C-alpha cells in the first residue's frame, strides 16, 4: 500500500488537491519546514546563553522576539500541523472511508497555516507565547504584536476547522461494520483531541479579540488603568492552553500506539484501557488550567482545587505508559528507528510527568514557577514526548509517503544524538530552575553553577541541532535516491504487512 508519491506529479497538482493524502503531504512539508525554522531560533537562544553577557545577539529585544517566535512556531506551526498531517493520512484509512468528511474544508484548514505563519514570522513579536497583559496590551511594540494576534487568530480557526473535520469523519464516515470501540487508537486519539479543541479554543479566541481592542485603545478589558483585570486574560488563556497541551500530546501517544505493537509484533495489551485513558484525559484536561497561576495571588482553596485537578490527569497518563510497557513485555521487539523514537518518547514522557506531579504540589510550585525548571519540564513534553513521537512516526510513514526507505543507520544515529541532547538540555534546565534562574532572560548573573548548567544545556542543544541536520539530509536524499522499500513489509517484521483496517481480506 503506497499512500503518496508513487507517481511523481507536478507540485501544483498536490497544492490544489483536496485528497486527504495530498493535504497530509502539504501538512508534513509545512510543519517540518517550520520545525527547522523554530529549531534554528532555539539554537540561537542557547548559543546566546552559553556565557553570561551578550554573545551573538546584541540586544535583549531581539532575544525576546526570538524566544517568542520560537515557542509560537513550534507549538502552532510544527506540532499541531504535524498531528494534522498524520491524521489526514491515517484517520480515513483507519475508519475505512475514501477521504475526510469535508475535503474542501480540509484544504482550507491547511491553507490558513501559511498566512498565519507568515504573520508571526514577519511581525516577530516580543511578548512571549502567552502574551500577558498589561504588557501585551499597553507596552509591546506594534505592529509585531498585532500581527501575532492576527496570526494566532487564523491558526485558531484552522485548528477548529480541522477538529470539526476529524470528529465528523470518525463518527459519521466510519465503515458500518466497524464499531466505535474497535476504531484503532490512533484514530481515537484524533477524536478525543479534536473534542478538546472544540471546547478549549473559543476562550482564547475571545481573549485575542479583547487583547486587540485593548491595544487599539477602545477597550480596557485587561488594563487596570481602565478598570480591567489582567488576571482575567490569564484565565482565558490557560483555559485554552492547558487543554491544548493534551491536544498535542494525545495524537503523539496515538502515534506510539500505532508503532509499539507493530514493532513488538504483538497486539496492544489493552485497546479498551487506551480508549478509556484518552477519554479521561480529554475531560480532566479542563480541570487544571489555573495551576499555571498559583503565584498570581490565588486563595488557598483555589490552589487546592487546581492541584487536585492537575493530579487527576496522572493516572490516565500512567495507564498509557503501562499499556506500552505491557505490550513490549516479553515481545520480540525490533528496534528499528520508529520504535527507538517511540520508546525514547515514552521514557521522557514518564520523566516529564513525574516532574509535573512535583510541580503541581503547591509549595514546590513557588520554587519552580517561571524558572528554568518550567522550561525544562514542558520541553520534556513538547520535545521529548510529542516531537519524539512525531519524528518516529515520520520515519514510520516515510516508505508510505515516498515508496522508498530512509537510511536506517542514519536514523538510529539521529535518535541517539537527539536523545542524549534532549537529556542534556532539559534535565539540566530543571536544575537551573532549582538554582533560581528565571525563564525568558537574555542574560544571567555569572554564578558558576548557572554557567556550567547553561553550558551543558547549550552543548546538548547543538547536538540536537546537528542530529536534525542529519535527519534532513537523510529525508531529502532517501526521498529521491533511497532504496525502494519492500511495501509489503518495509521493516522485515515478518508476515504480510498491511493495515488491517484497510485490507478487505487480510491473510495472516
Partner 1 sequence: MSGHSNWPEWIYVGVVVSLLVYVGAEAWNVERLVEHTPAEAEVIKVVGQQWFWTFEHADGTKEVGELHLKKGQPYKFEITAKDVNHAFNIHDYVILQDAVVGRINTAWFVPDKAGEYPIQCREYCGLLHYNMRGTLIVEE
- C-alpha cell read off for 321: 505508559
For residue 404, which phi and psi values (nearest 5 degrees)? -125, 165
Say how many residues make up the chain: 508
> Residue 15 or 362: which CB sits closer to partner 1?
362
Q: Cβ 412 to partner 1, closest distance in Å?
A: 31
> Residue 231 or 462: which CB sits closer to partner 1?
231
> Residue 52 or 115: which CB sits closer to partner 1?
52
Q: Report the alpha-carbon distance of residue 222 to residue 343 in Å, rounded.
A: 44
Q: How many CA atoms lie within 13 A of 379 on its CB side?
A: 23
CA of residue 9 relative to chain centroid, distance:
30
Q: Cβ 441 to partner 1, closest distance in Å?
A: 4
> Residue 297 or 492: which CB sits closer to partner 1?
297
Report helix, strand and coil shares of the chain as percent, to nearest 5: 75, 0, 25
Q: Cβ 269 to partner 1, closest distance in Å?
A: 7
> Residue 286 or 322: which CB sits closer to partner 1?
322
How many C-beta neighbours within 10 Å does residue 8 have? 7
Q: Cβ 368 to partner 1, closest distance in Å?
A: 9
Q: Cβ 311 to partner 1, closest distance in Å?
A: 5
- C-alpha cell read off for 377: 519540564
Residues whose CB falls within 8 Å of the CB of residue 121, separated by 6 or more in sequence, listed in order: 37, 69, 73
Q: Cβ 476 to partner 1, closest distance in Å?
A: 37
> Residue 1 or 357: which CB sits closer to partner 1?
357
- Tally DSSP H helices, then E strands, for the chain: 19, 0
How many C-beta neighbours within 10 Å does residue 280 have? 17
Interacting residue ranges for partner 1, rule: CB under 8 A: 60-61, 64, 126-128, 132-135, 138-140, 224-225, 229-231, 267-273, 295-297, 300, 303-304, 307-308, 311, 314-315, 318-319, 322-323, 326, 357-358, 360-364, 366-367, 369-371, 435-436, 438-445
178: DSSP letter:
S
End-to-end CA separation in angstroms for the chain: 16
Q: Cβ 70 to partner 1, closest distance in Å?
A: 14
> Residue 41 or 100: which CB sits closer to partner 1?
41
> Residue 17 or 273: which CB sits closer to partner 1?
273
CA of residue 30 relative to chain centroid, distance:
14
Q: Report the alpha-carbon distance of residue 48 to residue 52 in Å, rounded.
A: 8
3-state secondary structure of 26: helix
Q: Cβ 369 to partner 1, closest distance in Å?
A: 6
Amino acid at each position: 500500500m503506497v499512500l503518496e508519491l508513487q507517481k511523481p506529479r507536478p507540485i501544483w497538482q498536490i497544492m490544489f488537491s483536496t485528497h486527504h493524502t495530498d493535504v497530509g503531504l502539504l501538512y508534513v512539508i509545512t510543519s517540518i519546514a517550520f520545525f527547522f525554522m523554530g529549531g534554528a531560533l532555539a539554537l540561537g537562544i542557547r548559543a546566546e546563553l552559553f556565557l553570561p553577557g551578550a554573545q551573538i545577539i546584541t540586544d535583549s529585544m531581539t532575544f525576546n522576539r526570538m524566544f517568542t517566535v520560537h515557542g509560537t512556531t513550534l507549538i502552532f506551526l510544527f506540532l499541531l500541523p504535524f498531528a494534522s498531517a498524520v491524521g489526514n493520512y491515517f484517520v480515513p484509512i483507519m475508519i475505512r472511508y475514501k477521504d475526510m468528511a469535508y475535503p474542501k474544508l480540509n484544504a482550507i484548514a491547511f491553507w490558513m497555516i501559511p498566512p498565519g505563519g507568515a504573520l508571526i514570522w514577519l511581525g516577530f513579536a516580543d511578548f512571549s507565547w502567552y502574551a500577558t497583559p498589561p504588557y501585551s496590551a499597553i507596552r509591546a511594540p506594534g505592529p509585531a504584536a498585532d500581527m501575532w494576534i492576527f496570526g494566532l487568530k487564523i491558526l485558531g480557526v484552522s485548528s477548529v476547522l480541522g477538529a470539526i473535520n476529524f470528529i465528523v469523519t470518525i463518527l459519521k464516515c466510519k465503515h458500518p461494520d466497524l464499531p466505535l470501540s474497535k476504531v484503532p487508537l490512533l484514530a481515537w486519539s484524533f477524536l478525543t483531541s479534536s473534542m478538546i479543541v472544540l471546547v478549549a479554543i473559543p476562550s482564547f479566541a475571545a481573549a485575542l479579540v479583547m487583547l486587540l481592542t485593548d491595544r487599539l485603545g477602545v477597550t480596557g478589558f485587561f488594563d487596570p488603568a481602565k478598570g480591567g483585570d489582567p488576571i482575567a486574560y490569564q484565565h482565558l488563556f490557560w483555559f485554552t492552553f492547558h487543554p491544548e497541551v493534551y491536544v498535542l500530546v494525545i495524537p503523539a501517544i496515538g502515534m506510539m500506539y500505532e508503532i509499539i505493537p507493530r514493532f513488538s509484533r504483538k497486539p496492544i495489551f489493552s485497546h479498551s484501557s487506551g480508549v478509556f485513558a484518552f477519554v479521561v484525559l480529554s475531560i480532566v484536561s479542563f480541570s487544571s488550567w489555573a495551576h499555571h497561576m498559583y503565584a498570581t495571588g490565588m486563595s488557598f482553596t483555589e490552589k487546592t482545587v487546581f492541584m487536585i485537578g492537575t493530579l487527576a490527569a496522572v493516572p490516565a497518563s500512567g495507564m498509557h505508559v503501562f499499556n506500552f510497557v505491557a505490550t513490549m513485555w516479553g515481545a520480540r521487539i525490533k528496534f528499528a528507528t520508529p520504535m527507538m523514537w517511540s520508546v525514547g518518547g515514552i521514557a521522557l514522557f514518564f520523566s516529564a510527568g513525574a516532574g509535573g506531579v512535583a510541580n503541581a504540589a503547591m509549595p514546590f510550585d513557588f520554587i519552580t514557577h517561571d524558572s528554568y525548571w518550567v522550561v525544562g519540564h514542558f520541553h520534556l513534553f513538547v520535545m521529548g514526548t510529542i516531537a519524539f513521537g512525531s519524528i518516529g512516526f515520520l520515519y514510520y510513514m516515510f516508505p508510505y509517503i515516498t515508496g522508498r526507505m530512509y537510511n536506517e543507520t542514519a536514523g538510529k544515529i539521529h535518535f541517539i544524538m537527539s536523545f542524549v541532547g534532549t537529556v542534556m538540555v532539559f534535565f539540566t534546565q530543571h536544575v537551573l530552575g532549582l538554582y533560581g534562574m528565571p525563564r525568558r532572560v537574555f542574560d544571567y548573573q555569572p554564578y558558576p553553577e548557572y554557567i556550567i548548567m547553561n553550558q551543558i544545556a547549550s552543548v546538548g542543544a547543538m547536538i540536537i541541532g546537528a542530529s536534525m541536520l542529519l535527519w534532513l539530509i537523510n529525508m531529502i536524499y532517501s526521498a529521491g535516491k533511497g532504496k525502494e522499500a519492500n511495501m509489503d513489509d518495509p521493516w522485515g517484521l515478518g508476515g504480510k504487512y498491511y493495515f488491517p483496517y484497510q485490507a478487505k481480506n487480510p491473510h495472516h
